[in-house]
C-alpha cells in the first residue's frame, strides 16, 4: 500500500528548539501517527542556535539558490533521522542566525516568508514529494498562499493539499501590506482586497486561513471561541465562513517523556499508586532546591509559563500578597514581559521562604515544579490548548485554571464534577474569580485530604496521550488524500 506522505512545516520542535507548546506538539505528533499508513516528515529552519550535537548529526541532502526578495539566496537542505522520523532543516545562515529562533518581529516576517517560499522550492529536488503539507502557526502561513498562487501553475505542486493548525490566533504575522507584498513576491491583488490583508495591514496567517484545504486548532472550545469577536482577533468572520473545513483537535503530551515514575529530572519517582508519599517527598525536594520554608502543610502552588498577558498574570499580580503568605507558597518559573518579571522577582526577594521566582527557561526545574507542587496555577485570559496543565495533571499537581479554551476541555472542576474532579476552575476573567477558586483549593487541601488524594489519582489517570487526537488528524489526511 502506498503510504500517504505528510510534511510538517513549523518554526520549532522538540528536542531541537523550543520556546513553548508548539515545539512539544510538532516534536510529538509525527511519532503518534500510524507509520504503516503515513510517511510523516518534518521541516524546520536550520537555526544556527540549534544544539551543536544535533547539527553534527545532520546529513547534507542538497543545496540550490532561489530568487527571493530581490536577490539569489542560498538554500541548503539537511536531514537527520530521529527514531524513524526524518527531520529536514532548511539552511540559510543569514536568515536563521542569531541567539534564538525568533529575532525582531519585522525581520521574522521576512525570514519566515523565506522559509515558506524556499520550503516549496526545495520539494522537486527531494526524494519525498508530500501529498499533504501540514503547516503550524503564522510562521508557515504563506505556504498555502504560495501553493495556490506563485506555485499554482506548476503541475508538480497541483496535487499537494494543505492543513493549517492554529496554535495561537493572537500572533498572525502582521505587518505593512506593501512590505509583505514586496518581500513575499505574492501578487499585489492578494493584498488589495482580502486574502493576505486585514485592514490596511499584511497578514500571513490570514492567507493560510483563506487558502488551506483544512484548518484545525488545538481544542474544541477554542475552535468555538475564535468564531466570536471576543476571541476572534478579527478572524472570527473568516473562520465562520470556513467552518465546514475547520475543527478543534485537542493536543496530547508525550506520556513517555512526561512520566513521574521515570522522569530523570526527578530525584523521587512516584505513580498514582503512591501519590501521597511520592508528592510529599517531591515537594520537600522542591522546597529545598528553591530555598522555600520546609513546610509540608503549605499549599505549594507552581507556575511554569511564558509571563505574558495571555497567561493571566494580570489576575495573579493583585493576589501576590496573599499567595506569598501562609498557608500558600508560590514557585514560579518563566520569562516574558519585563513588568511581570519585575513584580514576581520583587515579591520573591521580599518573601524568600514563601515565594520563589526563577526567570528563564529550565526544563529540569519545570519538571521538578510539576512534581513538587500541590497545585498548578494557569488562570489564562485565553488558552488555545495549554500543555502545562496536562503535564501538571500527569504529575498529580491539581490545576487551578480559568475555564477557557483547552483549559475548559481538559480540567474537570470540583464544583461541577465532585468526586470525579481533577482541578479547580473559574469562569469570568477577574481577580475575584481567582480568589474564590484559591479558597476552594485551600479548603479541599486542608479540610478534605481524602478528596484531595482522590483528585490527584483522577488527574494522574486521565489519558492525555496522543492516541485519540492522532486518529482525528489521520482522518483529515485520509479525506484530503482521497479528494
| Cα dihedral 222→224→229→234 (10° resolution) | 70
Let me know the angle formed at the C-alpha of 380 by 205 and 261, rounded to the nearest 5 degrees. 100
Is 171 a binder of ligand ADP (CB under 6 A)? no
Binding range to ligand ADP, per CB under 6 A, among 52-60, 62-70, 75-83, 383-391: 383-391
Compute the least distance from the CB of residue 419 to ligand GLC, in Å. 28
Backbone angles phi, psi at 330, to 5 degrees: -135, 130
Q: How far apart are CA 158 and CA 140, in angstroms?
A: 19
In the bound state with ligand GLC, the residue whose beta carbon lies nearer, of 286 and 385, is 385
Is 168 a binder of ligand GLC (CB under 6 A)? yes
Is 255 a binder of ligand ADP (CB under 6 A)? no
Binding range to ligand GLC, per CB under 6 A, among 115-123, 184-192, 381-389, 433-441: 381-389
Q: Is 25 in contact with 34 (CB distance < 8 Å)?
A: no
Is 141 a binder of ligand ADP (CB under 6 A)? no
Q: How far apart are CA 80 and CA 85, in angstroms?
A: 8
425 Cβ contact list (under 8 Å, min separation 6): 399, 400, 401, 402, 403, 407, 408, 411, 413, 415, 416, 437
In the bound state with ligand GLC, the residue whose beta carbon lies nearer, of 25 and 196, is 25
Q: How far apart are CA 310 and CA 383, in angstroms?
A: 7
Is 251 a binder of ligand GLC (CB under 6 A)? yes
Binding range to ligand ADP, per CB under 6 A, among 107-115, 190-198, 280-288, 359-367: 359-367
Residue 363 interacts with, from ligand GLC, ligand ADP, none (CB under 5-8 Å by kind):
ligand ADP
User: Which of 292, 300, 385, 441: binder of ligand GLC (CB under 6 A)?
Assistant: 385
Is 386 a binder of ligand GLC (CB under 6 A)? yes
* Ranges of H-type helices in 395-430: 405-410, 414-417
Q: Is 54 in contact with 80 (CB distance < 8 Å)?
A: yes
Is 387 a binder of ligand GLC (CB under 6 A)? yes
Compute the least distance from the CB of residue 336 to ligand GLC, in Å. 12
Residue 218 interacts with, from ligand ADP, ligand GLC, none (CB under 5-8 Å by kind):
ligand GLC
Is 388 a binder of ligand ADP (CB under 6 A)? yes
Among 40, 52, 472, which Cα is nearest to 251's?
472
User: Which of 5, 78, 148, 167: binder of ligand GLC (CB under 6 A)?
Assistant: 167
Could you tell me the three cell numbers for 383? 488558552
Strand ranges of the sheet holding 214-217, from the earlier edge strand across to the other edge: 59-68, 71-82, 85-91, 38-45, 4-9, 132-136, 161-166, 214-217, 246-248
| Cα dihedral 311→315→317→321 (10° resolution) | -130
Is 12 a binder of ligand ADP (CB under 6 A)? no
In the bound state with ligand ADP, the residue whose beta carbon lies nearer, of 22 and 190, is 22
Q: Which residues bind ligand GLC (CB under 6 A)?
A: 20-22, 25, 167-168, 218, 251, 383-387, 406
Q: Which residues bind ligand ADP (CB under 6 A)?
A: 20-22, 24, 304-306, 333-335, 361-363, 366, 385-388, 391
Amino acid at each position: 500500500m502506498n503510504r500517504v506522505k505528510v510534511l510538517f512545516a513549523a518554526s520549532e520542535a522538540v528536542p531541537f528548539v523550543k520556546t513553548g507548546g508548539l515545539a512539544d506538539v510538532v516534536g510529538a505528533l509525527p511519532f503518534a501517527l500510524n507509520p504503516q499508513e503515513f510517511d510523516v516528515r518534518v521541516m524546520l529552519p536550520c537555526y544556527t542556535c540549534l544544539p551543536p550535537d544535533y547539527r553534527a548529526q545532520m546529513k547534507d541532502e542538497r543545496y540550490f539558490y532561489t530568487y527571493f526578495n530581490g536577490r539569489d539566496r542560498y538554500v541548503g537542505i539537511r536531514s537527520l533521522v530521529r527514531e524513524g522520523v526524518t527531520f529536514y532543516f532548511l539552511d540559510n545562515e543569514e536568515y536563521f542566525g542569531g541567539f534564538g529562533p525568533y529575532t525582531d518581529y519585522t525581520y521574522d516576517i521576512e525570514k519566515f516568508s523565506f522559509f515558506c517560499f524556499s520550503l516549496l522550492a526545495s520539494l522537486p529536488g527531494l526524494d519525498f514529494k508530500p501529498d499533504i503539507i501540514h503547516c503550524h502557526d503564522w510562521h508557515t502561513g504563506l505556504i498555502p498562499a504560495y501553493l495556490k498562487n506563485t506555485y499554482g501553475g506548476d503541475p508538480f505542486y497541483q496535487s499537494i493539499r494543505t492543513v493549517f493548525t492554529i496554535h495561537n490566533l493572537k500572533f498572525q504575522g502582521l505587518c505593512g501590506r506593501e512590505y509583505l507584498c514586496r518581500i513575499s513576491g505574492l501578487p499585489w491583488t492578494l493584498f488589495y482586497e482580502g486574502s493576505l490583508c486585514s485592514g490596511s495591514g499584511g497578514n500571513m496567517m490570514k492567507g493560510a486561513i483563506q487558502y488551506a484545504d483544512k484548518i484545525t486548532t488545538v481544542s474544541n472550545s477554542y475552535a468555538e471561541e475564535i468564531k466570536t469577536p471576543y476571541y476572534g482577533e478579527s478572524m472570527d468572520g473568516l473562520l465562520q465562513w470556513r467552518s465546514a473545513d475547520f475543527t478543534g483537535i485537542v493536543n496530547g503530551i508525550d506520556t513517555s517523556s512526561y512520566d513521574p515514575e521515570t522522569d530523570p529530572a526527578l530525584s523521587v519517582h512516584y505513580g498514582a499508586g503512591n501519590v501521597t508519599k511520592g508528592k510529599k517527598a517531591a515537594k520537600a525536594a522542591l522546597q529545598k532546591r528553591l530555598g522555600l520554608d520546609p513546610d509540608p502543610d503549605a499549599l505549594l502552588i507552581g507556575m511554569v509559563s511564558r509571563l505574558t498577558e495571555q497567561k493571566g498574570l494580570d489576575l495573579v499580580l493583585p493576589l501576590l500578597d496573599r499567595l506569598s503568605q501562609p498557608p500558600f507558597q508560590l514557585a514560579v518559573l518563566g520569562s516574558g514581559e519585563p513588568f511581570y518579571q519585575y513584580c514576581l522577582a520583587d515579591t520573591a526577594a521580599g518573601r524568600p521562604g514563601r515565594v520563589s521566582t526563577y526567570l528563564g527557561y529550565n526544563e529540569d526545574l519545570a519538571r521538578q515544579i510539576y512534581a513538587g507542587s500541590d497545585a498548578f496555577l494557569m488562570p489564562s485570559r485565553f488558552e488555545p490548548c495549554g500543555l502545562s496543565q496536562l503535564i501538571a495533571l500527569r504529575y498529580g499537581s491539581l490545576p487551578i485554571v480559568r475555564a477557557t479554551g483547552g483549559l475548559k476541555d481538559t480540567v474537570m472542576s470540583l464544583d461541577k464534577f465532585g468526586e470525579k474532579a481533577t482541578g479547580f476552575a473559574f469562569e469570568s476573567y477577574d481577580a475575584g474569580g481567582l480568589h474564590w477558586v484559591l479558597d476552594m483549593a485551600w479548603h479541599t487541601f486542608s479540610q478534605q485530604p481524602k478528596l484531595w488524594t482522590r483528585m490527584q489519582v483522577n488527574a494522574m489517570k486521565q489519558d492525555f496521550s496522543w492516541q485519540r487526537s492522532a486518529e482525528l488528524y489521520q482522518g483529515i489526511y485520509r479525506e484530503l488524500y482521497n479528494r
